[in-house]
Structure 1
Amino acid sequence: MWAMDHTHGHDERQHGTAASWGTAVKATLHCLTGCAIGEILGMVIGTALDWGNLPTMVLAIGLAFLFGYSFTLFAVLRAGLGLKPAIRVALAADTVSITVMELVDNAIIALTPGAMDAHLTDTLFWSALLGGFAVAFLITAPVNKWMIGRGKGHAVVHAHH
């Protein structure tokens, strides 16, 4: 639903000036939503299948990228772009944002004592995961602001709306 809201700040991105914080926050929330859905789903699946930490983390990160890209992909497809160009737009729009988000989030989880061995029913699991998302958001938003201001990242989506 938010993936369709790409209407703010076109002029500032297209002319290479600084993007607004509001635009950067919206782009980062979009990224965070896809990452969170994919990552939580991956953790639940890995835990339910009694996988170890590494395969569970790989699945969670893979699903975070899949869901993050799919939100943008479906939005630009709805806007009338063909599949191949839509895939290119999604990759250009979200790769850096999702990568930063996942690196920060997973580093926090990995560095939180006991979090990697916590179960879905443990408060430590959820606090490490949500804390990781919060810190990742705070680090990724300025990255997105910088990229959008240079016509990169999420700014490429706006060119197709």
Structure 2
Amino acid sequence: MAISATLHCLTGCAIGEVLGVVIGTALGWETAPTIALAIALAFVFGYSFTIAPVMRAGLGLGAALGVALAADTISITVMEIVDNAILLLIPGAMDAGLDSVLFWASLAIALAVAFVVTVPVNRALIRRGKGHAVVHRYHH
């Protein structure tokens, strides 16, 4: 169950990241504000993908937010550091347009690498009773 909760969080994080990069690129923003938006949306979506099922399990918003913060902060932080670093390292990725294969391929590669790095981090946290182990009793 805790790995399932981890996947929910990483899915939300990835959705937020993609939306942020797509919105920033579509609006013609520079790299820094685009990445800032992507990071902000990754946290919003990552936390929300944990908060919703925890609230369905009976916790109020405040308690569910506390659980999400405890469970997801390290995971989302690692994912965001890795995927944005990859995007910055791929030449031209942040300047490519939405109609570019480079844009979408770079984003896919960055998210894939970030996922591969983040899952073992989450597993280590779960083994220590941290991260998504905190959410385990609330996910059904």
| TM-score (normalised: structure 2) | 0.93
Unaligned runs of 5+ in 2: none
Cα drift, residue 120 of structure 1: 1.1
Cα deviations by residue, 1:90-139 (Å, 9 ceiling, x for unpaired): 00110001110110001000001111111111111111111111111111
**Within-5 A mapping of 1:1-161:** 8=1, 24=3, 26-161=4-139
Specify the code of the residue in structure 1 equivalent to 2:32. L
**3-state DSSP of counterpart to 2:138:** coil
Q: Compute the displacement of 1:66 (Å).
A: 0.3
What is the identity percentage for the equivalent residue pairs of Structure 1 and Structure 2? 67
Q: Matches of 2:96 and 2:9 in 1, distance apart?
A: 25
**In structure 1, how many angstroms separate the alpha carbons of the residues matched to 2:50 and 2:109?**
25
TM-score of the superposition, structure 1-length normalised?
0.81
For 1:49 and 1:129, the matched residues in 2 are separated by 17
Q: SS of the counterpart of 2:58?
A: coil
Question: Hey, what's the Cα distance between the residues in 1 that align with 2:127 and 2:21?
Answer: 34
Supply the distance in 2 between the matched residues of 1:44 and 1:73 (Cα, whole angstroms): 25
Displacement of 1:48 in angstroms is: 2.3
Q: Secondary structure at the match of 1:159?
A: coil
Q: Distance in 1 between matches of 2:122 and 2:38?
A: 22
**Equivalent pairs, count:** 139
Letter in 1 for 2:82: V
